[in-house]
């Protein structure tokens, strides 16, 4: 499939502006008797172009706020992190313009805390911090309708699920969704929260040493009750010759209920030859259509970041041999043209999209950069004030802009930071 860029002149500029001279994936794998371009039975390798393609922001989308390149606040998280070795792992925006941040420590005792960043008389600061039972491999944080915060990952019991924390008094409710069992070699998960905040979704891939079990689970956010569960083996096999395993990218909530699972499928017998692929499920976790291939196999794309649009559109940043692309697939739709072509493959690992679906925010060498999803125009950078360059870990959308977490090198120590970006 030959891709068509949104703006040809912009594409030409980007293609000549510092693109890597060679593919940094290393040498091509040795072809097997089945060619690396030949699908196994019932697994096509072309992009899914027979479905409606993304045509830009929906007609009922709110007006754009503009590029998020103004720094509203820079918050030192040190008051919530006594001692060294702390890291800001995940964050979610709060209704008052602040945020909740999960911080953990890799030192003795391996503690974890939930910090509240709120408005103060002269800006924003850490206003509260409570200890929480450690959740390893934190994958996301959500604000629930009752004001509690759900943290997804591997629980102290080793099950995959959620810790639901009251950010005021630190009370914790544990929600184990999928047990890992003895002999587990590896376990990974991604999660999503329904638009109404009532259902938490979790997709898991667990290697027990003698096989891989992959499951999609829906949980009542208020009670912790497992509502439904689906074994993904057959669904994945329809698109990939191998289990999801380490190619799990994201889980995106659909506006009418259910989720879209994003992973890099390997439709041939060469696991390194992948296609970013979507599997959609309805509110009962039943498949909603066939697998959607976002690119063709020949484009050699790998998913780097995923963001959700308010209307269920899945935005993806995929690495390709000469840079990165931003793509979009509408809910129930298929592959379409490249929205933006980026010349680098360094700062493409996290992405947030505003509700208007006009501007996106991605990392940059000096902080973050705004990208117009209609034209590919870049604005910024959002300078976060780190003298030696920041380490941006994640960017999350918020009601008044975006929440950015990471660290600054101050002297010889890394200081955990939260930045609030506005237009």
The string of DSSP letters for 200-249 reads EEEEEEEE-SS-EEEEEEEEETTT--EEEEEE-HHHHHTT-SS--GGGEE
pLDDT at site 199? 98
Is this structure's pTM higher than 0.85? yes
In a domain, 21, yes or no: no
pLDDT at site 409? 85
In a domain, 334, yes or no: yes
Q: List all residues 6 or more positions away from 193 whose beta carbon is below 8 Å from its beta carbon.
A: 142, 144, 150, 199, 200, 201, 221, 253
In a domain, 84, yes or no: yes
Query: Is the separation of the CB atoms in 120 and 420 below 8 Å?
Result: no
The boundaries of the domain holding residue 260 are: 8-13+48-422
Structure tokens at 235: 């669904």
How high is the mean pLDDT of the chain?
89
264 or 367, greater pLDDT? 264
In a domain, 1, yes or no: no
User: Structural domain tally of the chain?
Assistant: 1
CATH number at residue 382: 2.130.10.10
In a domain, 25, yes or no: no
User: Around 74, how many Cα atoms within 13 Å sit in the side-chain half-sphere?
Assistant: 15
C-alpha distance from residue 159 to each of 5, 274, 394 (Å): 44, 29, 25
Using one digit for the tens of pLDDT, what is the confidence trace for 249-300?
999 999 999 999 999 999 999 999 999 999 999 999 999 999 999 999 999 9
User: Measured between alpha carbons, how far is 34 from 94 in angstroms, rounded to an integer?
Assistant: 52
What is the number of other CB atoms lying within 10 angstroms of the CB of residue 107?
A: 11
SS3 assignment, position 260? strand
Sign of the four-CA dihedral 279, 334, 56, 340: positive
CA-wise closest residue to 39 among 288, 265, 360: 265
User: Measured between alpha carbons, how far is 216 from 285 in angstroms, rounded to an integer?
Assistant: 8
CA-wise closest residue to 55 among 354, 356, 336: 336
- CA 255 to centroid of chain Cα atoms: 17
User: Measured between alpha carbons, how far is 329 from 278 in angstroms, rounded to an integer?
Assistant: 9
In a domain, 23, yes or no: no
Confidence bin at 39 (pLDDT 50/70/90): low
Confidence bin at 3 (pLDDT 50/70/90): low
Confidence bin at 40 (pLDDT 50/70/90): low
In a domain, 3, yes or no: no
Structure tokens at 212: 């891989």
In a domain, 24, yes or no: no
- CA 81 to centroid of chain Cα atoms: 25
Task: Provide the β-strand partners of residue 340.
Answer: 326
SS3 assignment, position 12? helix
Q: Residue 73: enclosing H or E segment and its boundaries?
A: strand 70-76
C-alpha distance from residue 318 to each of 298, 305, 362 (Å): 14, 7, 13
Using one digit for the tens of pLDDT, what is the confidence trace for 221-247?
999 999 999 999 999 999 999 999 999
CA-wise closest residue to 299 among 330, 267, 327, 321: 321
């Amino acid at each position: 499939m030959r891709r068509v860029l949104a703006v040809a002149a912009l594409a030409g500029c980007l293609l000549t502006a510092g693109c890597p001279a060679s593919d940094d994936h290393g040498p091509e794998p040795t072809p097997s008797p089945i060619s690396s371009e030949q699908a196994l039975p019932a697994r096509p390798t072309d992009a899914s172009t027979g479905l409606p393609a993304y045509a830009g922001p929906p007609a009922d989308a709110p007006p754009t706020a503009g590029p998020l390149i103004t720094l509203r606040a820079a918050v030192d998280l040190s008051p919530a992190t006594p001692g060294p070795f702390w890291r800001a792992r995940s964050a979610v925006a709060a209704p008052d313009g602040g945020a909740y941040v999960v911080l953990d420590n890799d030192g003795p005792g391996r503690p974890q805390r939930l910090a509240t960043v709120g408005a103060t008389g002269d800006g924003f600061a850490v206003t509260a911090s409570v200890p929480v039972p450690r959740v390893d491999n934190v994958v996301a944080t959500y604000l629930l309708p009752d004001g509690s915060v759900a943290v997804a990952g591997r629980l102290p019991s080793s099950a995959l699920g959620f810790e639901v924390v009251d950010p005021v008094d630190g009370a914790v409710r544990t929600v184990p969704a999928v047990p890992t069992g003895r002999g587990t070699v590896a376990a990974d998960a991604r999660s999503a929260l329904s638009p109404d905040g009532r259902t938490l979704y979790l997709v898991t891939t667990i290697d027990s040493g003698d096989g891989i079990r992959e499951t999609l689970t829906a949980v009542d956010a208020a009670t912790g009750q497992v509502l439904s569960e689906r074994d993904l083996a057959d669904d994945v096999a329809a698109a990939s010759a191998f289990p999801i395993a380490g190619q799990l990218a994201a889980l995106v909530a659909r506006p009418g209920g259910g989720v879209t699972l994003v992973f890099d499928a390997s439709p041939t017998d060469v696991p390194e030859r992948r296609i970013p692929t979507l599997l959609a499920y309805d509110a009962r976790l039943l498949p909603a259509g066939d697998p959607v291939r976002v690119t063709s196999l020949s484009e050699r794309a790998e998913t780097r970041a995923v963001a959700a649009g308010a209307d269920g559109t899945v935005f993806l940043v995929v690495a390709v041999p000469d840079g990165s692309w931003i793509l979009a697939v509408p809910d129930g739709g298929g592959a379409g043209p490249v929205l933006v072509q980026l010349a680098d493959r360094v700062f493409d690992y996290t992405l947030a999209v505003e509700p208007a679906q006009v501007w996106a925010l991605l990392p940059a060498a000096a902080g973050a950069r705004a990208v117009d999803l209609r034209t590919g125009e870049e604005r910024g950078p959002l300078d976060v004030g780190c003298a030696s360059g920041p380490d941006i870990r994640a960017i999350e959308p918020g009601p008044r802009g975006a929440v950015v977490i990471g660290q600054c090198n101050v002297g010889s120590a890394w200081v955990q930071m939260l930045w609030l970006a506005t237009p």
